[in-house]
Amino acid sequence: MVNQYPWEFDETIPFYSIGIHPWYSNESRLSSDLEIIDQKIALENCLALGECGLDKRIEIPIEIQKKIFKAQILIAEKQQKPLVLHCVAAFQEIIQIKKEQNVTVPMIIHGFSKSEQTAKQLLDNGFYLSFGKYLLRNPELKSVFQSVPNDKFFLETDTVDESLEEVYALAANYKNIEIEEIKSIVKANFEKVFRMKMDDTPITHNL
């Protein structure tokens, strides 16, 4: 699943998400961006809205980010599509917005790399966690990943140098199960959250 931006949409990509990443928050084109998202997310090939979210380590004011994030949540709720979230140093804000907006669609934290305590707080509030390159690069994430219930995680590459096979192999090792079993777990989670049946071809999606 490839992330797309509304201002450079490519209709040749088979399965995608579409959203305004907080890095590219732009109030001047917000109405046109939201209109395109609203149109494209209704299509069958659009599996989710995202990446969207909050990032406190960029110069764009957090209040502008929140405004754009909340507007996208409304679209996801209307179309009943999951949200793929980019979140940096703003987990409390994300949780609060989820409660305030009474979000019913699944919300997936992309590229999770934080503590077991943060993971538990997110899981307790109904979020899914997606692990990728940081799982390979940070051994301290082993216990965090092991603590996540099998029906609450995804695996990804985010188009980095490490392969998806490496991520699956390490995830299986950490969970002490065979790779085929972890593939089945992720497949079941994918089909549940994205409401899309997958065949038995190798999993190559990038979240």
Mean pLDDT of the chain: 93
Q: How confident is the model at residue 159 (pLDDT cuts 50, 70, 90)?
A: low
Task: Find where tokens 């209704």 sit.
Answer: 42
Q: How confident is the model at residue 157 (pLDDT cuts 50, 70, 90)?
A: confident
pLDDT digits (tens, 9 = 90+) for 161-170: 789 999 999 9
Q: Which two tokens stand for residue 11?
A: 């209709």
pLDDT digits (tens, 9 = 90+) for 71-115: 999 999 999 999 999 999 999 999 999 999 999 999 999 999 999
- Name the amino acid, one letter, at 21: H
Average the pLDDT over 121-137 and give the result: 96
The answer to whether residue 151 scores a pLDDT higher than 70 is yes
What does the alpha-carbon distance between residue 89 and residue 22 come to, in Å, rounded to a whole number? 13
| Cβ–Cβ < 8 Å for 142, 174 | yes
Locate the domains of the chain by residue range: 2-194
What does the alpha-carbon distance between residue 69 and residue 114 come to, in Å, rounded to a whole number? 21
Candidate from 44-53, 145-154, 178-187, 192-201 with smallest mean pLDDT: 192-201
Angle (CA) 132-74-153 rounded to 5° is 20
pLDDT at residue 197, as a whole number: 81
Q: Per the annotation, where are the binding residues for a divalent metal cation? A: 51, 86, 110, 158
**What is the per-residue DSSP string for 134-169?**
HHHH-TTHHHHHHHS-GGGEEE--TT-SS-HHHHHH
Residue 57 DSSP one-character state: T
Q: What is the phi/psi pair of residue 155, to 5°?
A: -125, 145
| CATH H superfamily, domain 2-194 | Metal-dependent hydrolases (3.20.20.140)
The answer to whether residue 155 scores a pLDDT higher than 70 is yes
The answer to whether residue 201 scores a pLDDT higher than 50 is no
Three-state SS for 126?
coil
Share of the chain above pLDDT 70, in %: 95
Q: Per the annotation, where are the binding residues? A: 51, 86, 110, 158
The answer to whether residue 175 scores a pLDDT higher than 70 is yes
